Amino acid sequence: MNSVAVKISQFLLLLLLLSSCSNEENFRDNISAPSRAQQASRINTELGAGYLRRGSYELALQKLQKAIAFDPGNSQALSTLAILYEQINKTEEAEKHHRLAIKADPEDASAQNNFGAFLCKIGDYRLSEKHFLQAAGNAFYQTPELALLNAGRCIAKVPDYARAEQHLRQALRFAPDASEALFLLASIKYDMQEYMSARGFLQRYEAVASPNRSSLVLGYRIETALNNDDEVERYARQLESLYPGSTEILKNQETP
């Protein structure tokens, strides 16, 4: 190959490289604007959530509204803003933004769980169960036991103890030491007058959690129903030690 041919070849290669760089820059330009907006939206969502946790509602509102302005389809920003509206008792705005979050991304399990919690709070127990189960059924959701616990707690208020027990037992398959699920199952079994089963769940609860007034009162009532005087006395002593006057209140409640 002569020198002229070599120079032409090098010139063509240079043109090809310049064309490639230009195309790459055009590609970056095409994606940079939405990417920057989405990144700004995520940052403002995180800041808004932080302010919300600290109770700085006005700052949280500003950041979350800014997040949605950058990316109207940011389901996490919409869901967090809905929770903020719940905190300041703007129920209609809360429901509106929960629904917008679900519409923006039906696969956002956190948004589904948050909407379920809102619906449970306003007394729509059956619909709340649906959203909790949708969250729990998402294979990418890291805490399905939380959504199942919420479903069980909420549907027990109907009351639908059979479905509540089903959800709570499923929660325990994900997290066998979930103390709240164990306590709720003990409470449900007591209400169903299945006292031995109630005792079993309460004992599992006591193995993983410190006693509190609610658990001690439940233990007192379960053992009273089972006519186990020794255990009744044990719970009574613990109650009096930690919460003086509690056993007297219980005895008065049990008096016809």
> In 55-194, where does DSSP find H-type helix?
57-70, 75-87, 91-104, 109-121, 125-136, 144-155, 161-174, 179-191
Mean pLDDT check: name the lowest of 17-31, 124-138, 228-242: 17-31
pLDDT, tens digit, 9 for 90 and up, residues 164-215: 999 999 999 999 999 999 999 999 999 999 999 999 999 999 999 999 999 9
Q: What is the pTM of this model?
A: 0.82
- By 3-state DSSP, what share of the chain in percent is helix, strand and coil, each rounded to 5? 80, 0, 20
What architecture (CATH level 2) is domain 179-256? Alpha Horseshoe (1.25)
pLDDT, tens digit, 9 for 90 and up, residues 36-84: 999 999 999 999 999 999 999 999 999 999 999 999 999 999 999 999 9
pLDDT, tens digit, 9 for 90 and up, residues 126-171: 999 999 999 999 999 999 999 999 999 999 999 999 999 999 999 9
Q: pLDDT at position 246, please?
A: 81
pLDDT bracket for residue 248 (50, 70, 90): confident
Q: Residue 23 and residue 29: Cα distance in Å, rounded?
A: 10
- Enumerate the domain spans of the chain: 179-256
Written as one letter, the residue type at 236 is A
DSSP 107: T
Q: Is residue 252 pLDDT above 80, yes or no? A: no
Q: pLDDT at position 15, please?
A: 47
Q: pLDDT at position 17, please?
A: 47
Q: Is residue 12 pLDDT above 80, yes or no? A: no
Q: Residue 111 and residue 104: Cα distance in Å, rounded?
A: 10
